[in-house]
Structure 1
Amino acid sequence: MVAESFAPGASASGVARRHDISPSLLFLWRRQTTRAKLEEHGGMPSGFVPVAITDCGGKLPLCEEQGAIEIEVGAVRIRVMGTVDRRALCEVLAAVGTVGR
């Protein structure tokens, strides 16, 4: 949503309405993103990585090397290691997404 709101010609308020969030929350995220660019990257622009959850059922397949996923949303940090139940992860991410609403 933040990346979408920075697109040329985009309206941050319009983006917020489309995603059913408060415009003030999106403006907060935009400020945090701008601040993070300066603090964490020494003024260098950072990028966005698109994320999409396509299915929230079952377990992810096991592989020989188990990795870890770390997700930060504001002050909340979620670390996922090993086998992940997609449905449970979807519920956690949905709950985190409602913080501050």
Structure 2
Amino acid sequence: MPISELTLKSSDHEPARRFEVFTGSGRRREWLPEEKARIVAESYEAGATVSAVARRYALSPQQLFAWRRAARQPLAEAPALESLFVPAVIAAPRPEPAARRRRKQKAARDGVIELEIDGVAMRVGRGADTRTVAAVIRALKATT
């Protein structure tokens, strides 16, 4: 069939008509959740733009923005977790040999602070971060 037969013929007083040719399967692509997550993560990388990542995967930027928005949403159907209890076993400390006790006593004199709040003991050694120690003390006070 010659090309001349494929062209649209119109008269001079008729406006030109436009038609589109669709190639491909004509179906929507289905992306696996892992693929979506990988593409969304790639769009958050330093220096990456949503438009560039969308072009790379033949997506519209709007589609990628929708995936990013969905990824930020909390899971609506989080699996129900069954409450579990773990038994606490409290055992008496084993007696240490005398040589070890002497070393620990000497170390205790070398700048260790021991705190006890409602039966919970805490030892703070030299060089401990003050913010961490303060946070632990606040947590101990909050639990009592």
For Structure 1 versus Structure 2, the TM-score category normalised by the shorter chain is 0.3 to 0.5
TM-score (structure 2 length as normaliser): 0.25
